[in-house]
Structure 1
Amino acid sequence: MILKKLICAVLGHQYVVSNNITAHVHEYRCKCCGEELTDTANGSVEKLTPKYKETNAILAEVYQRRMQRLSSGS
């Protein structure tokens, strides 16, 4: 694990989208070391903490319910 973190420190992280919360909020994971990030409300990217995980889970539920309601109402 230390070698992977060293590689990321030298070459930089290789982030890929690991979870789409909404159309504008995503969670990212580094392919090499596994570090996780998420989009925040102000448009920046922050480390994925337990607080952000909980917030993203609630946001995903609300977003899914809204999408279902909009698709069935048309």
Structure 2
Amino acid sequence: MIDDPAQWPEPLMREHPRVALIETDSGEVISTWDRLVCGQDPSYLPALQEAWAGKSIVIVDMDTNELLRVVDQVKK
């Protein structure tokens, strides 16, 4: 385990240490991860954005709400 963020291998990890996976249509939080404490953040509540792709799973920064990646289109 690397405790020092300066040693994390990916710049994206350093720029966005707290992330969440969110299902865009329902707003359901699928998972969160806080690299600063090496654990989940069950208190996180997403701020859904109209600009997020519908029927998708997105990765967002929990602190800035910045969209980092659209992971998948949900097939319903």
Question: Is the TM value for this pair above 0.5?
Answer: no
TM norm structure 2: 0.25
Computing the radius of gyration from Cα coordinates, the structure with the larger value is 1
More helix by share: 1
Higher strand share goes to which structure? 2
TM-score by length of 1: 0.25
* Relative contact order, higher structure (CA 8 A, sep 6+): 2
